[in-house]
Amino acid sequence: MSNQTPVIELRNVDKSFGPIDVLHEISLKVNAGEVLCLLGDNGAGKSTLIKTLAGVHSPTRGQILLDGKPMRFSRPKDAQEKGIATVHQFGGTFPLMTIGRSFFAGVEPTKGIWPFKVFDRSKANQIAVKAVQDFGITRIDDGDRLVGGLSGGERQSLAIARAVHFGARVLILDEPTAALGVKQAAHVLRIVNEAKRRGLAVIFITHQVMHAMAVGDHFAVLIRGAIAADFRKGEKSREEITDLMAGGETMSDLEAQIEGYMETHDGHPPQVASQSDA
Amino acid sequence: MITSIFRRPATASIVSLAMIVAFYVFFGGVDLGRMAGAASWLNFAANLGIVAVPVGFLMIAGEIDISFGAMIPAGSMATAIISGHYGLPIGYAMIAVLAMGLLMGLINGILTIRTTVPSLIVSLGTLVAMQGVILASSKVLTGKASVALTAPDWAKFAFGQLIGNGHQVIIIWWLVATFVFWFVLHMSPWGNWIFAMGGDKQSARNAGIPVNRLTIILFMLSATSAAFVGMCQAILFNSAQVSGGINIIFNVIVSVAVGGTLLTGGFGSVAGIFFGTITFAIVNQGIYFTQIDRNWSSLIIGIMLLLAVGMNESFRSLAFSAGGRKKKTKPS
């Protein structure tokens, strides 16, 4: 496994905006059929890292390698053309469009001859529904339904299926489960596993350790723009990961601190404001 | 094909139309046959409708244009000044008018995509600026606020003819344009792009849709349609007057909104706007067929607008839960 060329690799990537360094010396690799979970608290630099991978920002220093070849993306479109697809928290779909139309937005199948080329609705619907069902979402069976009528998990699944259908090789999932309930999140995790089974390199961004552990092969914890820990599945326990994400301060310390506070303050928890810069 | 004409966004406007007609028949004593055959509301609807659909396109795409309010008088003044005052062939006037529309749209479009100023404000600015241009140029060039022209027969035939019982030929242009617009929005891939732009501009851009180019084209379409309507009016009436065109702005926006177009973008239909325009025209002009004092018409329009938009909202939430047109079976 280790001598395989990673689909995507970052080597010592730095990103700064003017004098502010956001990412330092990020080195990561993701193989085909592997899920890398990127964990980190808010403000750790996860979004900047995703945007750098997706071609929104270009790295200040360092290299991004695709199949071992250095790449430089100047626009998000460049990254997309190389098969790097980003799916955002709310799916990046169009709630007021039908499933078929939304699936093919920008690449509509047509029939007929110019200038009477018409959008091939039945073909679009059929392909879209099949693509989603192949991912195990059998509840979607009518391409004429509006995307807005789907649940959050189904919308994520639709977006992932869309990315895979259009040839994505690297799938960047930006907190796909953050706004979802337990059942819906399980849905999305199943889809992630399916994408992995199909040999995609998946970068899964989350701050829910449980979700990360359910699908991840490889974990990286980001703290203040640097990789604080990089380990493989089974090397660390859930508590250890949570502690890492909290910035080294262990969760049990934090709990003890709060309990101690409550004892001396008639059972009131500490004020939230004083916690923010801890 | 037929089913996609009557997609959900049109339902509310058809219901509003039926309600208004019923109201006029029961409370205004309207003779339905006489009103249906009358030219007044059809002429009114046609002049409104040619502009309303392109404005609706912009709204579906998440933008708004109100500068058409000045483009209609600008189109008619330009026709009259070039062809009437200077006596140049009317063909020159037509080319100039359409070019003016394209230019106005280009300016609106470029300002909208290059700045972060909302298109409402951009087009408000160009509206007022255009009003100034019309007034000043007609004063400077002709010294008058009203210019006469005599159009040749062919131009009269194509753009300013009265058919039958006082029906303006623009009604035919309206129907043809509506059909073309329907094809573009609902049948061609372009329509999908317009909906996607209004749904989520960033995602549309990520999906490879040329959002900026399309925005400019849509602004050009609405300004040119407005200039075309102005041109037809000048040829029909053999004269053009300087006017503000403020009323038409509200009339068009009411028609588009009654037609089920979502003002924040992403939803709407040509059939909806078509029926919305007819509904508005019947409220506005049909009142003359009733015993109701016509001063009440604005009250009726206001109530109708609120009812129709309210209906649109509830139909849209129904669409979310029920999915397509057909009844869904329970998921197994």
For chain B, what is the mean pLDDT? 87
Percent of chain A with pLDDT strictly greater than 90: 5
Strand partners, B70: none
Report how far apart, in Å, the C-alpha atoms of A186 and of each of A154, A189, B155 are.
11, 5, 67
Q: Assess A118–B contact: CB distance below 8 Å, yes or no.
A: yes
Query: pLDDT tens for residues A137-156?
Result: 888 888 888 888 888 888 88
Q: How far is A96 from chain B (nearest CA, A)?
A: 6
Percent of chain B with pLDDT strictly greater than 90: 52
Half-sphere exposure (CA, 13 Å, Cβ side) for A16?
7
State yes or no: cis peptide before B118, omega within 30 of 0: no
pLDDT of residue B320 exceeding 70: no
Interchain proximity B192–A104, CB inside 8 Å: yes
Instruction: Kindly list the residues of chain B whose beta carbon comes within 8 Å of any beta carbon in chain A.
Output: 4, 187-189, 191-193, 195-196, 198-200, 202-204, 206-209, 262, 266-267, 316, 319-325, 328, 331
Query: pLDDT tens for residues B73-113?
Result: 999 999 999 999 998 999 999 999 999 999 999 999 999 99
List the domains of chain B with CATH numbers.
2-320 (1.10.3470)
Residue type, B154: W
**Predicted confidence band at A45 (pLDDT cuts at 50, 70, 90)?**
confident
Residue A264: left (phi > 0), alpha (psi -120 to 50), or beta? Answer: alpha
pLDDT of residue B245 exceeding 80: no
Q: Assess A76–B contact: CB distance below 8 Å, yes or no.
A: yes
- Residues A45 and A76: their CA atoms lie apart, in Å, by 18
Query: So what's the pLDDT on residue B327?
Result: 37
Query: pLDDT tens for residues B109-126?
Result: 999 999 989 999 999 999
**Predicted confidence band at A278 (pLDDT cuts at 50, 70, 90)?**
very low
Q: How far is B174 from chain A (nearest CA, A)?
A: 20
- Residues A120 and A64: their CA atoms lie apart, in Å, by 39
What is the SS3 assignment for B239?
strand
Interchain proximity A119–B189, CB inside 8 Å: yes
- Residue B10: name the closest of B271, B195, B325, B332 by CA: B271
CA A54-A56-A59 angle, 5° bins: 85
pLDDT of residue A22 exceeding 90: no
pLDDT of residue B326 exceeding 60: no
Strands A110-111 and A84-87: unpaired
pLDDT of residue B331 exceeding 70: no
**Predicted confidence band at A16 (pLDDT cuts at 50, 70, 90)?**
confident
Query: pLDDT tens for residues B269-279?
Result: 999 999 999 99
Burial of A150 (0-12, 13-18, 19+ CB in 10 A): buried
Overall average pLDDT of the A39-54 stretch: 83
ipTM here? 0.77
Query: So what's the pLDDT on residue A5?
Result: 84
Phi, psi dihedrals of residue B166, rounded to the nearest 5°: 80, 20
Place of tokens 């502010």: A20
Residue A104: its chain B contacts at CB < 8 A?
192
Q: Assess A165–B contact: CB distance below 8 Å, yes or no.
A: no
Q: Name the E strands within B150-245.
A: 162-163, 167-168, 239-241
Query: pLDDT tens for residues A206-262?
Result: 878 888 888 889 888 888 888 878 888 878 887 787 777 776 555 566 677 777 777
Overall average pLDDT of the B182-196 stretch: 92
How many CB atoms neighbour CB A194 within 10 A?
18
